[in-house]
Amino acid sequence: MSSVMVGFFIFAPQSKLVMKSEEERSVDSDGSDAIKPFTTVEEFLFQEPLYQRLDLAGCIEEIEVLYRRQQRTADGHCPFCCRQSTFAVSGQGVPGGDPWNNIQSRKSFDTVSLICARDREHALYYFVRIDDLIIQKVGQLPSLADIANDESKTFRNVLERSDSRELHMAIGLAAHGVGIGSFVYLRRIFERLILKRFTAHKDAMGWQDAEFVKLRMAEKITFLSSFLPAFMVKNAIIYNILSKGVHELNESECLKYFEILKQSIVWILQQDQEAKAEAEKIAAYTKAITQISGSISSV
C-alpha cells in the first residue's frame, strides 16, 4: 500500500501507524493513568476528561477528521441551544510549509472546534496535545462539566432535588477524571430510580418488597423488564457491577462503566418525561372533554 499524499503532507498507510510496541505504550499498574485506545472523535470531545491519554495508533479516519482531511459531524449536547444538536468538526489546519510530513511523530499543541448546526456562533473549543500518536485534551471551553450539567438540567422536571444535586456532583467529578467518586454518586441515583420503578408498580402488580430487595441489580432489572428501556433489560448482566462494594472497585473500572450508567439514567429519565408528557396530555384532553360535555348537557 502506498502512502496517501494530501496537499504537502503524507499520511502513512494504516498498517504503519503503530510505531510503539505494546510494552512501550504501557498501562500504569493501578489503571489510573492508563493510555486508552482512541475510539471516535465524538467520544473524545464529548466524554473524555482533560489529560486522559489516548492512543491514536491505527485510527487513520479519526486522525483525518482531527486534522481536517475528512469532514465529519458529531452529535452531543449544545449548552447554547440547551438541547441535543449536531456539530461540524473543525479540525486543526496545517499551513503550507509546515515541516510535519508524518503524523506518527507529530509533537504539537493543536486545536479542534465544534460548530453547532443550528447557529454557527454556538462553538465548543478544544486544545489538544499530540505526541507520537498519543493525544490528550489539555483544555476546553465550555468545560465538560458545564456542558454535561446543562444537559442534566433538561431532566430536572423528573428528578428529585437530591438526585439532581448528586447527578451534578457525579458529572463534575467524572469531568475531572475522578472515577470512584463519580461512580458512587451515579450508583445511588440509579438505585433510587430502580426502587422508584418498583414502588410505582408494586401494588398494581401484587409484588412484595421482600422478593425484590434480595435480588442482585441485574435480577432487579430483569424483574422490572416491562417498565424499563429494552436496551437495559437486554444487557441486564452489566449492571451486576453495581452489586460490588466500593472497596472492590478501581478508578479505571469505574470510569469505564460511568457512561453506561449515565446513559441508563438518561434513558430512564426520558421514559419518565414521556410518561409525564402523556399524563399531562390526557389530563388536558379530559378537562376539555369535561367542559364540552358540560356545555352539551346545558344546551
Residue ranges that bind Zn ion, judged by CB under 5 A: 78, 80-81, 85, 116, 118, 122
Which CB sits closer to Zn ion, 151 or 163? Answer: 151
What is the Cα–Cα distance from 8 to 101, expressed in whole angstroms?
A: 8
CB nearer Zn ion, residue 74 or residue 103:
74
Between 116 and 178, CB nearer to Zn ion: 116
Between 142 and 229, whose beta carbon lies closer to Zn ion? 142
In the complex with Zn ion, the residue whose CB is nearer, 120 or 247, is 120
In Å, how far are 11, 77, 113, 116, 123 from 87, measured between CA atoms?
Answer: 25, 9, 9, 4, 9
Strand positions, DSSP E, the chain: 4-6, 9-11, 36-37, 54-55, 73-78, 83-90, 107-116, 123-131, 134-141
CB of residue 146 to Zn ion, shortest distance in Å: 14
The residue (of 113 and 264) whose beta carbon lies closer to Zn ion is 113
Minimum distance from CB of 118 to Zn ion (Å)?
A: 5
> Nearest-CA neighbor of 136 among 112, 101, 104, 172?
112
CB of 122 to Zn ion, least distance (A): 3
Cβ of residue 72: shortest distance to Zn ion, in angstroms?
17
Buried b (16+ CB within 10 A) or exposed e, 26-50: eeeeebeebbeebeebbebbbbbbb
Q: How far is the CB of 115 from Zn ion (least distance, A)?
A: 9
CB 132 within 8 A of CB 152: no
Provide the minimum distance between the beta carbon of 75 and Zn ion in the complex, in angstroms, as a whole number. 12
280 CB contacts (<8 Å, ≥6 apart)? Answer: none
C-alpha cell recorded at residue 38: 482512541
Residues 6+ apart with CB under 8 A from 262: 170, 171, 174, 186
Q: Are strands 54-55 and 73-78 parallel, antiparallel or unpaired?
A: unpaired
Q: How far is the CB of 141 from Zn ion (least distance, A)?
A: 15
CA distance 19 to 133: 8
Distance of CA 37 to the CA centre of its chain: 16
Alpha carbons 285 and 291: distance in angstroms, whole number: 10
Nearer to Zn ion, 57 or 78 (CB): 78
